[in-house]
Structure 1
């Protein structure tokens, strides 16, 4: 089997078209929601999600807090679904992110948030799902059917929806212009040569994935994909936190993958990569415009908020090939189902 024969490859390949379709289809609903949020800003933002969608929520935290200055926190679904502990969410914006919109704990949390006085927004791929039905506003992901267990295009669609909402809410002309260029950049990123990742991790047993700021969510997503599609134990760390203990494990030949973007976190992330290389670790870095030995190609030119989408698009293609190289079918990870209905 070739990587292009897998559902993971084919669905991830659709991401650029998904994002372009989503921006066009959602302009009205996102614009109306953004206007309402400007007129009546929330006291704080709460996100609720699991799996890859929770990594999108981690990205939302950095986007909303840096661009809007509104505190954004991730809700633990079990607090409401298991412990049934009432939350004081009056005046909050509650954003639930889900591919299926069916997980009982997410639905229960969204209902509890609505009852407690929050404005509930569902970023969801299945528009007639229980989660969508109870939301005050639905922002469809427009990813279309996703049959591979490993979420790809729906994850990137969630990041795009977060960017779209932020750009309209903030009225950021530069970011709005970047959204127009993003689908084309994703198409170009799909063809980036990340074969060094496949070759470098073919026989690996463990690795660290490191990112910071906007890129930390990409590191979380990559670590999950390594586990579920490649049978490879990977742990994600912030470049600011990895030196607080985990760095002790890094020595000669230990694999490390670093994601960076061109913002105030760039130099500190590259410094961590250099320190790891100094210990003899096998380090690969994806950073916009950086080339040479140990660097994976990543386009420059778009705002740093967009870089994680380009990073993950190239990563998905490489990972579908790595899974096969390691003897796994990325579409059917052992013991996993497409929809996890956590209660």
Structure 2
């Protein structure tokens, strides 16, 4: 897990170079025939990447983006109305039967199917109208790291070129170097603080929510630590009632318009006596986890998760687990 997460920046740089021409061809099509909406379809870490894609598409392109429930097509055999939609399927292996079935249904229903996969010759890749390989390279640890970050990077590069936003395009060029800087950050206070913990909340909002979801999964998967992810807005609708002394909270705050509100929730929990760690570019003070400057708020979740993966690996070992081989899990989960 550690060595694969450390390779993420190089994998992203490789991906950006390899996929540029394919993305430009896709963007030309999307501009000539604009989709009415976007649908994502994924599971696990890939679905967390889809959450990032939703906020990225909606905030940058203004296109409503919905998450398809794979069971609706694969189990309930419902044919959704997807005429003139862009159907984005994200999968590391490209083999899961339910994702394949939903891609078939979407294609038959009139959608343009875009597959983001790490295995470029997978069944899903062969089925899709357009394939964006993740170029993460082999990933043998059960816990996905560089393939997750490559999924976010692929969504970012697509959105930047589709929107033509100069700031976002420049941020894409700067991202690999920023990821290397993020990997070098010291998050050891989080490791020591959670070594004996039983549970925690992980908070994010907007573009940062996907990172919170991914962190909560990795805590469960690699550290045997029960963690729940919430929007920093949604946590105030009930869940916050159980936060107090001895209830840890990890907060991923954005460096954009919603970041101050997320940081304020962190401060409120800290005032209750809860152990709180805050990751936000430019932040300082007690409990702040360092992050390098971000090229763009859309890059911040990628940098945050890149830094988090090093801490997750160290925490797993500190708690007596093997981060590469979580119990009862396989690398490829073939749900139907």
TM range (shorter): over 0.9
Deviation of 1:291 (Å): 2.1
Secondary structure of the corresponding residue to residue 274 of structure 1:
helix
In structure 1, how many angstroms separate the alpha carbons of the residues matched to 2:173 and 2:164? 15
What is the aligned partner in structure 2 of residue 5 from structure 1? none
Partner of 1:65: 58
Deviations 1:7-42 (A, max 9, x none): x00000000000000000000001111111111110
Which one of 134, 138, 142 corresponds to residue 145 of structure 1? 138
Q: Offset at 1:301?
A: 4.0
Asked if 1:283 corresponds to 2:276, the answer is: yes
Shift of 1:268: 0.5
In 2, Cα distance between the equivalents of 1:218 and 1:105?
24
> Which residue in the other structure is 1:254 paired with?
247
Within a 5 Å distance, the mapping from 1:198-277 to structure 2 comes to: 198-277=191-270
Report the TM-score when normalising by structure 2.
Answer: 0.99
CA distance in 2, matches of 1:198, 1:252: 18
Q: Distance in 1 between the 2:267 and 2:190 partners?
A: 18
2:200 aligns to what SS in structure 1?
A: strand
Q: Deviation per CA, 1:183-216, whole angstroms, max 9, x where unpaired? A: 0010111110000110110000000000000000
CA distance in 2, matches of 1:97, 1:196: 33
State the alpha-carbon separation in 1 of the partners of residues 28 and 296 from structure 2: 23
Match of 2:167 in 1: 174
Q: 1:86: which partner in 2? A: 79
Q: Is there any run of 5+ residues in structure 2 with no aligned partner, and where? A: none
Structure 1 residues 91 and 298: alpha-carbon distance in aligned structure 2, compared to 1, 3 A threshold: same
CA distance in 2, matches of 1:179, 1:290: 23
- State the Cα deviation string for residues 143-198 of structure 1 (Å, max 9, x = none): 01110000000000000000000000000111111111100010111110000110
C-alpha distance in 1, partners of 2:306/2:190?
Answer: 14
Partner Cα separation in structure 2 for residue 17 and residue 316 of structure 1: 16
Report runs of 4+ in structure 1 exceeding 6 Å deviation.
Answer: none
Report SS of the residue matched to 1:97: strand
Equivalenced residues, count:
336
Q: Judging changes above 3 Å, is the alpha-carbon distance between structure 1 residues 56 and 301 closer, same or farther for their aligned structure 2 residues? A: closer
User: Matched residue of 1:132: which SS?
Assistant: helix
Cα deviation, residue 86, structure 1:
1.1
Partner of 1:25: 18
| Partner residue in 2 for 1:187 | 180
Contact 2:19–2:133 (8 Å) recurs in 1:
yes
The one of 156, 160, 185 equivalent to 1:163 is 156
Distance in 1 between the 2:38 and 2:271 partners? 41
Distance 1:106 1:189 in 2: 32
**Partner Cα separation in structure 1 for residue 310 and residue 241 of structure 2:** 31
Task: Tell me how large the CA RMSD over aligned residues is.
Answer: 0.6
How far, CA to CA, are the matches of 2:250 and 2:163 in structure 1? Answer: 33
List alignment gaps of at least 5 residues for structure 1: 1-7
Q: Residue 42 of structure 1 aligns with which residue?
A: 35
1:309 to 302, 305, 308: 302
> Which sits farther off after the overlay, 13-22 or 295-304?
295-304
Contact in 1 for aligned 2:6/2:183 (Cα 8 Å): yes
SS at match of 2:298: helix
**Does 1:132 pair with 2:125?**
yes
Report the alpha carbon displacement of residue 290 of structure 1 after superposing the two structures with TM: 1.1
Post-superposition CA distance 1:225-283 (Å, at most 9, x none): 00000000000000010010000110112100000111111111011001101110000
Q: Deviations over 1:306-340 (max 9, x none)?
A: 00000000000110000000000011000000000
